[in-house]
Amino acid sequence: RHAAGCEWPERVSDEGVESAGFARAVGDDILVPRQPHEVAVLLVVDLQTRDALVFAVRARPSNPALKAALRYSDGHLRRIEGEARVKDKLAPAAQQAFTASVAAFREAAELRQNWPDPFLGLMRTFIYGLEDLDRGADALKQAQRRGYAAGARDTVQLADGYRSRAM
């Protein structure tokens, strides 16, 4: 049983994946929370997305875009776990989750080399999770090299990093 409450078969044909929309569902528009209250809702969405991606990767194990999307999803889930561990004052567990998040984002970037999104996940993880502004700023530059146009949200994240560094 999966997060969406559905039973999925262990194997399905490529046609089944296409008709279910799983291959097309993996695109450049994966959700990222913009407000704190959105995190709980998006966590459920991320868990459901991850379940769908696991299913799709099983059906098409040679598809690097699907594998990249799965690792990207894992990166966000581990980052969210790390943030929760910080709030619970469990520093070693938080560090472990953030390290796993970085590894997942890097693997996603390797699998889909022109995709900027994993670098945005890295930026957020470095700035807010690991409090490493320099690596966060570098991750933003990597995203920009892959066609990402930085906006106000990115400026705010960098400013938060500078503020934390100054404290």
What burial letters (b/e) apply to 9-23, b meaning 16+ CB within 10 Å?
Answer: eeebeeeebeebebb
Residues 6+ apart with CB under 8 A from 35: none
**What is residue 45's predicted lDDT score, i.e. its pLDDT?**
65
**What is residue 26's predicted lDDT score, i.e. its pLDDT?**
44
Residues of the chain with pLDDT under 70: 1-45
**What is residue 43's predicted lDDT score, i.e. its pLDDT?**
60
**What is residue 5's predicted lDDT score, i.e. its pLDDT?**
38
**What is residue 42's predicted lDDT score, i.e. its pLDDT?**
54
**What is residue 3's predicted lDDT score, i.e. its pLDDT?**
37
**What is residue 21's predicted lDDT score, i.e. its pLDDT?**
41
Residues 6+ apart with CB under 8 A from 7: 1
pTM: 0.75
Burial class (CB within 10 angstroms; exposed 0-12, middle 13-18, buried 19+) of 49: buried
**What is residue 85's predicted lDDT score, i.e. its pLDDT?**
93
* Phi, psi dihedral angles at 82 (to 5 degrees): -60, -45
Both tokens of 140, joined, read 């933003």
**What is residue 27's predicted lDDT score, i.e. its pLDDT?**
44
